[in-house]
């Protein structure tokens, strides 16, 4: 058989199939055609030599912001995603019912990255950094959200609501109620953004259903999932035990090494790892999803477990087809080729806490339905201990 491309001699890590060994992968017609210990490249139009590199499913980032030019925090999708190993990016509420049509036409339909979205319960989505989208609760309109999600059902994976005081004022409980009403009607998960709210996080967690998602789970801001004694609160354990997903959502202000470490010591790790990459953190402390996954490798996760938290697990969390986040034969040829760099690395969380690591995942090449994308840069100097001088 003639293949479009063969990836040779890479260490294939596919958590969906429990594969972690050196294999070759063949691609034809934008699909994965074969995964074997040896595949001849004699009849292939193209070859990627992956000796010494990791070959994984294209990553799935559960929380990004890519409604460029409209949402204040948004960036271009492709440079931050498909060029850096993320083949499926899920925008977390940049658009609402008033703006989803434009987001669909001008970003989702144009990007090489597979872009999907949580629809914000606020009709405006996230327009401004200084005026919260739910300070006026009239923006939280359930019927309009349901209608918009149904009209754009091919790209909407759930409903988003942000519950921080400077975003929602004192309207957090009513905003959550309306988001849950929309999610219930659509039979889709609700993603809640926590940290810095008026009301206690327990009041939010007790209302969540199995499959709903808490993002910024390991925030160091007030009203997080640790009590004043650094213990995981009962409401978090209860939520986790009934199937609520605790997502990282690193962001510029929402991931704390001390909180994550305390949670891990007590047995509460992330259900998914996402970057929350946007214009305020793309040059640090987030950079990209691979760096966020590398932080969990530093915290003790195996590479395979970290890749799972950024591929097959988030894909399943939002009900994507089983051809996403996997390298199984017949799946879309969405593939990340990754360098596992070893050496001194300085990781920073959102609060300025640093950890000195020695393992970093870096994008080498990404395939999206078999098309090749090379990263526009490698590791940022701030990670390697050589920050830009001003």
Percent of the chain with pLDDT over 90: 95
Q: Is the pLDDT of residue 389 over 50?
A: no
Same domain for 45 and 136: no
Query: Could you tell me if 202 and 100 lie in one domain?
Result: yes
Q: Are residues 41 and 135 in the same domain?
A: no
DSSP label at residue 209:
P
pLDDT at 377: 87
354 beta partners:
348
DSSP H helical ranges for 58-159: 77-80, 100-103, 142-151
Say yes or no: 193 and 238 in one domain. Answer: yes
Residues β-bridged to residue 117: 91, 156
Classify residue 137: in a domain, yes or no: yes
Q: How would residue 390 be classed by pLDDT, with cut points 50, 70 and 90?
A: very low
At residue 1, the pLDDT reads 85
Tokens of 4: 């479009």
Spatial contact of 176 and 137, defined as CB atoms under 8 Å apart: no
Residue where a domain stops, chosen among 265, 296, 317: 317
What's the first-to-final CA gap in the chain, in angstroms? 55
pLDDT per position as a tens digit, 133-175: 999 999 999 999 999 999 999 999 999 999 999 999 999 999 9
- In the prediction, which pLDDT does 116 show? 98
Is a pLDDT exceeding 90 seen at residue 383? no
* Residue 173: count of CB within 10 angstroms of its CB: 16
Give 134's Cβ-side CA count (13 Å radius).
29
Instruction: Give 148's contacts (C-beta < 8 A, 6+ positions apart).
Output: 96, 97, 100, 101, 119, 156
Q: Do residue 18 and residue 134 come from a single domain?
A: no
Which residues form the domain of 49?
5-56+327-383
The length of the chain in residues reads 390
Condensed to tens digits (0 to 9), the pLDDT of residues 180-205 reads: 999 999 999 999 999 999 999 999 99
pTM of the predicted model as reported, rounded to 2 decimal places: 0.97
Residue 322 within a domain: no
C-alpha to C-alpha distance for 96 and 157, rounded to whole angstroms: 13
C-alpha span between 161 and 190 (Å, rounded): 8
* Tokens standing for residue 338: 């990754």
Distance CA(145)–CA(117), nearest Å, equals: 13
- On whether residue 389 sits in a domain, the answer given is no
Say if residue 129 is in the same domain as residue 46: no
Q: Read off the pLDDT of each residue in 34-46 and give the average, rounded to a whole number.
A: 95
Mark out the alpha helices in 152-283 (DSSP H runs): 165-168, 172-186, 201-205, 234-241, 257-265
Q: What CA–CA distances, in Å, run from 182 to 150, 178, 179, 319?
A: 11, 6, 5, 17
Tens digits of per-residue pLDDT, 327-363? 999 999 999 999 999 999 999 999 999 999 999 999 9
Assess if residue 124 is contained within a domain.
yes
> Residue 209 has what pLDDT?
98
CA 131-134-140 angle, 5° bins: 145
* 290-309 per-residue burial string, b: 16 or more CB within 10 A, e: under 16: bbbbbbbbbbebebbbbbbb
H-run or E-run covering 307: helix 303-309
CB 93 within 8 A of CB 191: yes
In a domain, 199, yes or no: yes
What is the average pLDDT across 278-288?
97
Looking at the structure of the chain, the number of domains it has is 2
Angle between the N-to-C axes of helices 142-151 and 172-186, in degrees from 0 to 180, rounded to the nearest 10? 40
Residues 38 and 84 in one domain: no
What pLDDT, on the 0 to 100 scale, is given for residue 382?
83
> What CATH number corresponds to the domain at position 173?
3.20.20.140
- Position 384 scores a pLDDT of 82
- Confidence label for 388 from pLDDT (cuts 50, 70 and 90): very low
| Average of per-residue pLDDT values in the chain | 96
Q: How far is it, in rounded angstroms, from Cα 144 to Cα 11?
A: 47
Which of 282, 317, 352 is at the close of a domain? 317
* Together in a domain, 202 and 351: no
Q: What is the mean pLDDT of residues 31-51?
A: 96
Q: Confidence class of residue 386 from pLDDT cuts 50, 70 and 90?
A: low
Residue 313 lies in a domain: yes
Residues 112 and 45 in one domain: no
Residues 287 and 372 in one domain: no
pLDDT digits (tens, 9 = 90+) for 292-322: 999 999 999 999 999 999 999 999 999 999 9
Q: Tell me how far apart the alpha carbons of residues 190 and 200 are, in angstroms, rounded to a whole number.
A: 18
**Residue 390 forms part of a structural domain:** no
User: Residue 275 above 50 pLDDT?
Assistant: yes
pLDDT at 22 over 80: yes
Residue 66 pLDDT grade (very low, low, confident, very high; cuts 50, 70, 90): very high
Reported as type and span, the H/E element at residue 305 is helix 303-309
Q: Find, among 257, 242, 239, the residue nearest to 192 by Cα.
A: 239
47: CATH: 2.30.40.10
Is 70 exceeded by the pLDDT of residue 225? yes
Residue pair 361/378 in contact (Cβ under 8 Å)? The answer is no
Q: How far apart are CA 338 and CA 21, in angstroms?
A: 14
Helices (H), 104-157: 142-151
Same domain, 70 and 122: yes
Question: How many of the other CB atoms lie within 10 Å of CB of 45?
Answer: 12
Classify residue 388: in a domain, yes or no: no
pLDDT at 385: 65
Is the bond leading into 215 cis (omega within 30 degrees of zero)?
Answer: no
The residue to which tokens 């010494």 are assigned: 52
pLDDT tens for each residue of 112-143? 999 999 999 999 999 999 999 999 999 999 99
Last residue of a domain, one of 295, 317, 339: 317
Same domain, 114 and 199: yes
Examine the pLDDT at 217 and tell me if it is beyond 90: yes
């Amino acid at each position: 058989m003639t293949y479009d491309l063969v990836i040779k001699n890479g260490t294939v890590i596919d958590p969906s199939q429990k594969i972690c060994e050196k294999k070759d992968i063949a691609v034809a017609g934008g699909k994965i055609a074969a995964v074997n210990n040896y595949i001849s490249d004699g009849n292939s139009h193209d070859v990627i030599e992956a000796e010494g590199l990791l070959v994984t499913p294209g990553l799935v980032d559960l929380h990004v912001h890519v409604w460029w030019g409209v949402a204040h925090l948004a960036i271009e999708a492709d440079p931050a995603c498909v060029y850096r190993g993320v083949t499926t990016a899920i925008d977390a509420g940049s658009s609402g019912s008033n703006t989803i049509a434009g987001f669909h036409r001008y970003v989702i339909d144009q990007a090489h990255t597979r872009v999907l979205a949580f629809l914000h319960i606020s009709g405006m989505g996230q327009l401004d950094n200084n005026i919260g989208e739910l300070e006026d609760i009239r923006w939280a309109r359930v019927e309009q959200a349901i209608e918009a999600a149904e009209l754009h059902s091919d790209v909407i994976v759930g409903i988003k609501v942000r519950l921080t005081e400077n975003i929602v004022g004192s309207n957090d409980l009513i905003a959550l109620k309306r988001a849950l009403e929309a999610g219930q009607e659509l039979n889709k998960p609700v993603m809640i953004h926590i940290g810095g709210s008026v009301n206690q996080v327990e009041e939010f967690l007790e209302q969540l259903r199995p499959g709903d998602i808490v993002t910024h789970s390991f925030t160091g801001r007030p009203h997080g999932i640790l009590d004043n004694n650094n213990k995981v609160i009962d409401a978090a354990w209860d939520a986790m035990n009934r199937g609520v997903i605790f997502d990282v959502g690193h962001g510029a202000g929402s991931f704390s090494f001390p909180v994550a470490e305390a949670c891990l010591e007590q047995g509460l790790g992330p259900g998914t790892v996402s970057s929350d990459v946007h214009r305020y953190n793309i040059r640090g402390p987030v950079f990209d999803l691979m760096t966020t996954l590398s932080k969990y490798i530093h915290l003790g996760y195996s590479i395979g477990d970290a890749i799972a938290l950024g591929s097959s697990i988030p894909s399943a969390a939002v009900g994507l087809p089983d051809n996403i986040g996997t390298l199984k034969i017949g799946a879309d040829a969405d593939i990340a080729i990754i360098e596992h760099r070893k050496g001194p690395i300085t990781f920073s969380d959102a609060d300025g806490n640093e950890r000195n690591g020695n393992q970093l995942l870096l994008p080498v090449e990404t395939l999206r339905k078999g098309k090749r994308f090379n990263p526009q840069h490698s590791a940022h100097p701030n990670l390697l201990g050589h920050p830009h001088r001003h």
